[in-house]
Amino acid sequence: MRKLENSELERLSVEEFKAVKKTPIIVVLDNIRSLNNIGSVFRTSDAFRIEKIYLCGITATPPHKDIQKTALGSTESVDWDYAANTLELVQKLQADGVQVLSIEQAENATMLNEFTPKTSETYALIFGNEVKGVSQDVVNLSDAVIEIPQYGTKHSLNISVSCGVVLWDLFSKLN
């Protein structure tokens, strides 16, 4: 097998990406500290044609060299906005008919492998702080909580890894 050259991958231009139909998923980053994690989420969101990213609270915003290091230009293709207050954003999204799902370990959470998204819905997926996770107030307001099954000794996954796992899973189920 021969590895493909970048020129053979037939990727969209930024203009084509902006015009193409998006996956009905919005990513919400709730107080993410790591600029590398933020950049990785942008890059993953580009890969799966995510509708938009909201950067909330202390989450840094582009342009920033440490975000760009991992985003590799995807801050230009993926729509994003800043919201100071995650709770207010959740309420606005819900008022717009968006189903808000916190990605967290919680009582009565639905395991990701058991969750079936509806193609008629738009979902906002909330990913939380590297240490504290999604804030309890946001979890309380969410329409549901999705948990990534884990079978090892550690209690959590890195936020950028969690985002990749969840976005791939929902993207594949929706398509």
pLDDT digits (tens, 9 = 90+) for 136-175: 999 999 999 999 999 999 999 999 999 999 999 999 999 9
pLDDT average, residue stretch 82-86? 98
Q: At what angle do helices 159-174 and 35-47 cross, to 10 degrees?
A: 10
Task: Tell me the C-alpha to C-alpha distance, in Å, between residue 109 and each of 102, 137, 145, 167, 171.
Answer: 9, 16, 5, 17, 20
Q: What is the model's pLDDT at position 115?
A: 98
In CATH terms, the fold of domain 18-148+155-174 is Alpha/beta knot (3.40.1280)
pLDDT digits (tens, 9 = 90+) for 24-62: 999 999 999 999 999 999 999 999 999 999 999 999 999
pLDDT digits (tens, 9 = 90+) for 120-136: 999 999 999 999 999 99
Structure tokens that stand for 46 in this block = 């580009």
